[in-house]
Structures are given as structure tokens and as C-alpha cells.
Amino acid sequence: MSLINTSVDTAIAIAERRRGKLGEALYSGRPNTVLLRNVYALKSSTWLVVLSGFVEPVFYLLAFGVGLGRIIGDVTDGNGNPISYATFIAPALLATSAMNGAIYDSTWNVFFKMHFGKIYQAMLSTSLGPLDVALGEIGWALLRGFVYACGFTLVVGGMGLIPSLWGLLAIPAAVLIAFGFASVGMGITSYLKNFHQMDWINFFMLPMFLFSGTFYPLSIYPDWIRVMIEALPLYQAIALVRGCTLGNLDVSMLWHALYFVVMIVLGLLFTTKRLRALFLR
Amino acid sequence: MPKSDASASSAASPELMIVAKNLTKRYGDFVAVDGINFEVKKGESFGLLGPNGAGKSTTMKMIASTSQRTDGELSILGKDPNDHGPEIRAHLGVVPQQDNLDRELKVWENLMTYGRFFGLKNSWLKAKIDELLEFAQLEEKRNSKTDDLSGGMKRRLTIARGLVNEPEILMLDEPTTGLDPQARHILWDRLFRLKENGVTLVITTHYMDEAEQLCDRLIVMDKGKIMAEGSPADLIKEYSSKEVLEVRFGSANNKEIASQLEGIGERLEVLPDRILVYTDNGEGALDRILAKGLHPVTTLVRRSSLEDVFLRLTGRSLAD
């Protein structure tokens, strides 16, 4: 029965190597193994569901950009240059799909794994810590977000809706946006007790999608509404991606990016604390 | 699978694997574990016996460092779970009460991913998994989804998964609850083998026969406290008589007739459905009852069990 193996580290030796390092009770340095688990799970999952994350923004683009855009005609970008309506909303749809994908992964998927699959319970009875789990799951959401963003950018670029070569930056921007939403979303999910409460998230997300400068510029709002909208993460996301695809790279882009860096850091702290409270209490 | 060489080398002075002093867990006002003390030695099979809600699972979670104690001291292989959670979990194999296998993954993938969570290498795990599948008698199921396994197979897979990191301590929470008798016996056999290989077992159960079969030593818990501690045989010797005579007079009559049985045996226990007479000579006690002109509907003479110990200690039967 005994399998003597001297050349390979034991689980204990591996775990002891982290002794004395910062956050050793929370982190083992292996979020990649959480990602690996998702790769295995993906192999036997429904590919149609996977594909839907890509198809959704394309449908929106066809309906609103191409369909509705014919009636609307040209609009102007921030600098007063005329652009087609589809060119105006394409970056907003990319930002929105990055958000939706990240929120879907960090709410529905995480909720299921937490309460029904008991996946995290099993992970946290190994030498993984809650931060490994959080980073692994968020990393997975980002990987999906990256693939979707590449696909969408390719389609939109192919339709000639990305006037600037800077538009390629929209892909890393989408990943940054997804990171922000996923890290906060996972923490929020930890508070939810049933599927019904998941509707609250949609209650917040849909108006944000409609009113964050997705389909028209914020300049039509009175000042006080505009300031409120500008504080919302989706507005920040749209401004960031739109700046990339239209090639309007000014200083404000840094602020939009910083918004997400802060969101990521706070979200990770929040989520790790919550996972610890849930599973290691 | 477990390291048998390690257990042989330390046979001279038993190493303490787990030490709990005044271990306490409170959830708000509710005291789940109320200042318990115990030690588990290397290679020992240690049981926590008690009804549901006695605090067994909470104690297990604190040992597995997935639940923080409220008070007291706890040391697993000399390490404090509050400070070294991931490290301690590397020493442990955990088999939870409810199977939490990954239903999205196949049998082999379940073992592989779990091993990777510990940081173990792919190539090493491949050989290890073959060995574990053989041990769990699941070789033919390696590519099955876990939903397609029977209850006994799932439990064996969960145990195999718990062994993937070659743990020194295997924690089993109600390992055979919900299994049919045959599946239970297969499982017990596997656990015996682990014990022979020097793995320390910590088992919670509310089945008396399981505790008697598997445990070298156990604590009897009720309402978060330890009621008694010892080997099954010692506990029976201390808290019960050699034999037990069970007599039934029909549920309506048991209580009334019990008064006429005073003096027969060392002690009587009147349950709703039967009377238990504790005595060293069951047949003799039965003769005396019959001599009084009483005619029980059914009679049974049996050896004392841990069930009797529990009844004596708490005034309740375990099934309550």
C-alpha cells in the first residue's frame, strides 16, 4: 500500500514553506489550482452557455447600433468629430459585457458553488486559504472576460467600428473592469442566502446599463444627475473603453483606470474577509 | 499509503497528535462545545460519541481548523490552528458528514484537483490516484461522474480524496450514516486497513456498534460536555453491568410492572417500550421475574453495549 516517494515534496513540506510569510493563514500561493479545477469543469459543461456570453453584446450591437443607428445617423465623439451611432455604442457594449460576465461569474456561479456544490468547503479543508479561492475564482472570471473581450473586439473591429488603433487597449481595459466587478461581486454574493436575493443585483444592474452613457452622452442630464452617474462603476468602465476605441487618450483615462484599481483592492479585501467569516469561523 | 515507517519509529513514546484544553465554542449565546479536554495519540483510533447536537461536528471543525475556537487551547501536532490553518490542514484528511464531492468533475478529476489544492505535483498524483482508486475499490469508476456512484461509493471516494495528501490524521464525521449494512462493512474494513498503516483516526458517530468496532478510545459527549472517556470495554465495565435483560410487557404496562421488579438486578431502566434490567446474570434475572408470576411478551438477554453507557450517563438513548 505504501508508496515511498523521496523525490517529491509532501503536502506538509509544501505548506510549511509558507511559514512566517505574510498572510499565511489566508493564502497558500496556489490560486492557479482553483483555476485548474474550473478548466476541468468546463470540459464537461454546456458550451452553449459559454458561447452566450459572447453572443449577447453582438446582438445588442446589431439591434441598437446597426438597426436603430440607421434612424439616428451620425453622432459626435467627445472632440466634436462625427462618428456612426454603432461606433459610439460599441465600446459601451464591450464594457457592459465585461461587467455582466464578471457579475455572472461572481454571483450565480459563486453562489451555486458556495451553497449547493459545497466546492469552497472542500477547497478550504485542504491547505488552500480563502484568498487562494477568491483569487482563483476571480482569475477565472477574468480569463473568460478576456476571451469574450477578444472575440467582441474582433467582431467590432471587423465591422469597422474601431476608428483608432488604440482600440486594442480596450481588451486589457475590459479585463481591468471585469476584475473590479468580480472582486466586489464575490463579496456581495457571500451575503446572499437564496436565489431570490440575486434579483436585487439585476435590479441595480439594468438601470445602470441603460443610463450610464451607454446609448447617449451624459451631457443631456442636469448636473446633479450627471455627477451621480459619473460615480457609478459602469460609467467609469464605458468612459475607459470608449476612450480607447475612439483614441481619445487624455489624463481622465488614468482616473477611470484608478477607479478600478481601488475597486479591485477593496473588493479583494472584502471578499477574503467574507470567505474567512463564512468558512473559517 | 500512509507512512507506516513513521508510526513504528515513535512507538516507544506515544506522540500526542491532538491536545485540547478547555476547548470552547460559542455561537452567540449558544454553547456548542463547553470547555472539553482530551488528547489523541499517534496511531490511535479516537471516537467522539454522542447524539446529534452534542458538539461532535463542531469539535471536528475546530480540529480541522475550519472553525475558530472561542476559548481554551487547541494544538494539532504542536501547532495552533488559529495561526497555522493551511499548514495544519496539510496534515489532515477530512471526510465531512455530507459528501461534498465536486459534481461537475469525474471521479479521477475529483482526486486530481483535490491533490493539486495541496500543491502536489501532477506526475506524483497520477500514481497516487491509481493507488487510491484501488484502495477505494473504484478503479472501474474512474471516468464516471460522481452522481452515478452509489452512496457507499461516494463515501469511499470522499475517503480516498481525504487520503490524497497522505495525512497523519484522518477525520471522519459520521462516516457510515445513511449507508446500507454491506456498504458499512466495506467501509469499516477500509478504515481498519488505514489504522494498520499507522494513520490516526478521529471518528464521530452516533452508532454504538461503529464506536465499538472502530474506536480504541472514545469520549462520550452530550450538550457540549464530555460525560465519560475510555475504551469501549472500560466504559461498559465502569458504567454498565456485564449483561442486560430486556423485557417487554406492552407499552401500557411497563411502568406499572417495573415497581414489582425492584431488587432484581443491579439497576432498572424503564423505557417507553421496554424495561432494561442490568445484571451480571441475565438468565438468572429472567428466572426470578418468571418466578414472580410475571409473563413478559418478549425477552432478550444481551451483553452490555455503549448504548447502555450512554443511557446511564444521560438518562436518554442515543436515538433521541
pLDDT digits (tens, 9 = 90+) for B209-228: 888 889 999 999 999 999 99
Domain boundaries, chain A: 31-279
Cross-chain residue pair B165–A123, CB shorter than 8 Å:
no
How near does any CA of chain A get to the CA of B205, in Å? 20
Which pLDDT belongs to residue B12? Answer: 44
Provide the chain B residues 19-38 that lie in CB contact (below 8 A) with chain A: none
Rounded distance, CA A117 to CA A32, Å? 20
Which pLDDT belongs to residue A169? Answer: 93
pLDDT at B96 over 60: yes
For residues A214 and A89, the answer to whether their CB atoms sit within 8 Å is yes
pLDDT at B10 over 80: no
Q: Which long-range contacts (CB under 8 A, 24 or more apart) does A6-10 make?
A: A8/B120, A8/B121, A8/B124, A9/B119, A9/B120, A9/B121, A10/B90, A10/B165, A10/B166
How near does any CA of chain A get to the CA of B166, in Å? 8
Burial classification of residue A62, based on how many CB atoms lie within 10 Å of its CB (0-12 exposed, 13-18 middle, 19 or more buried): middle
CA A89 → CA A86, A94, B297, B306, B311, distances in Å?
Answer: 5, 9, 86, 74, 74
pLDDT at B6 over 80: no
Rounded distance, CA A95 to CA A97, Å? 6
**Position B318 confidence tier, pLDDT thresholds 50, 70, 90:** low
Express each pLDDT in B22-47 by its tens digit. 999 999 899 999 999 999 999 999 99
Which of A42-46, A73-77, B64-68 is predicted most confidently?
A: B64-68
Q: Which residues contact A193 (CB under 8 A, 6 or more apart)?
A: none
pLDDT at B201 over 80: yes
First to last CA, chain B: 39
For B285, the grid coordinates are 434475572
Cross-chain residue pair B121–A8, CB shorter than 8 Å:
yes
Instruction: Return mean pLDDT, chain B.
Output: 90
Length of chain B: 320
Which pLDDT belongs to residue B41? Answer: 95
Express each pLDDT in A210-231 by its tens digit. 999 899 888 889 999 999 999 9
Q: Is A244 on the interface with B (CB under 8 A)?
A: no
Pairing of strands B217-222, B225-230: antiparallel
B10-32 CB burial, b ≥16 within 10 A, e <16? eeeeebebbbbeebbbeeeeebb
pLDDT at A57 over 60: yes
Instruction: Indicate the range of A147-151, B42-46, B111-115, B144-148 predicted with least confidence.
Output: A147-151
Cross-chain residue pair A15–B96, CB shorter than 8 Å:
no
Q: Which residues contact B299 (CB under 8 A, 6 or more apart)?
A: B245, B246, B247, B248, B286
Q: Is B193 on the interface with A (CB under 8 A)?
A: yes
pLDDT at B11 over 70: no
pTM over 0.80: yes
Domains assigned to chain B: 4-231 (3.40.50.300), 241-303 (3.30.70)
Cross-chain residue pair B119–A33, CB shorter than 8 Å:
yes
Which pLDDT belongs to residue B13? Answer: 52
pLDDT at A49 over 80: no
Q: Is B94 on the interface with A (CB under 8 A)?
A: yes
Closest-CA residue of chain B to A46: B104
Express each pLDDT in A111-152 by its tens digit. 888 888 789 989 999 999 888 998 999 899 899 888 888 989
Q: Is B192 on the interface with A (CB under 8 A)?
A: no
Pairing of strands B92-95, B169-173: parallel
pLDDT at B122 over 70: yes
Q: What percent of chain A has pLDDT over 70?
A: 95
Strand partners, B217: B46
Q: Which of B59, B47, B45 shows the shortest CA–CA distance to B7?
A: B45
Strand partners, B247: B275, B299
The sheet that has B71-76: what strands, in order across it?
B30-41, B16-27, B71-76
For residues A178 and A141, the answer to whether their CB atoms sit within 8 Å is yes
User: What is the average per-residue pLDDT within B47-76?
Assistant: 92
pLDDT at A5 over 80: no
In B198-238, the DSSP E strands lie at: 200-205, 217-222, 225-230
Rounded distance, CA A65 to CA A62, Å? 6
Q: Is B272 on the interface with A (CB under 8 A)?
A: no
**Residue of A19, A127, A133, A281 to mutate when probing chain B, most B C-beta within 10 A:** A127
- Amino acid of residue B62: M
Torsions phi, psi for A249 (to 5 deg): -95, 90
Rounded distance, CA A210 to CA B49, Å? 59
Instruction: Return mean pLDDT, chain A.
Output: 87
User: What is the average per-residue pLDDT within A78-88?
Assistant: 86
Looking up cell 464591450 gives A94
| Chain A residues inside the 8 Å CB shell of B121 | 8-9
Does A104 or A279 have the greater pLDDT score? A104
Rounded distance, CA A270 to CA A79, Å? 39
Which pLDDT belongs to residue B143? Answer: 95
Q: What is the DSSP letter of A73?
A: -
For B313, the grid coordinates are 450517563
User: What is the average per-residue pLDDT within A224-252?
Assistant: 93
Instruction: Indicate the range of A181-195, A248-262, B157-171 predicted with least confidence.
Output: A181-195
Q: Is B118 on the interface with A (CB under 8 A)?
A: yes
Express each pLDDT in A160-207 by its tens digit. 899 888 999 999 999 999 999 999 998 898 888 888 888 888 888 899
